Amino acid sequence: MKPHKQYSDNELRKVALIILTQHLGHANALRFLSFNQASDVDYMSIRHELFEGLSAKEIYNNAAEFWQNKNNKQA
């Protein structure tokens, strides 16, 4: 088995957020984090990392695309 890189806690969180958002999209990644974290989670910190570099319009478009896809799957 190939050894994995050892990450600091902050690096691991950032890499995990990148992977989650790439594979799940922003809305699903945030949903996943919200129900898989302890109650003392700093959601503001996660929010800043998750949406870093995105404009409000890009965040809105991502959310709209998520809900459109969800509605299409239910139809």
Prediction pTM value: 0.47
CA 48 to chain centre: 11
What are 49's two structure tokens?
A: 């990392």
Fill in the DSSP letter of residue 42: -
Question: What pLDDT is stored for residue 64 in this prediction?
Answer: 87
| Segment 54-70 mean pLDDT | 86
3-55 tens-digit pLDDT = 778 888 888 888 888 899 999 988 888 888 887 666 676 777 888 888 889 89
Domain locations in the chain?
9-74
What CA–CA distances, in Å, run from 68 to 21, 71, 73? Answer: 18, 5, 9
State the Cα–Cα distance between residues 50 and 18, nearest whole angstrom: 8
Asked whether the beta carbons of 61 and 48 are under 8 A apart, the reply is no
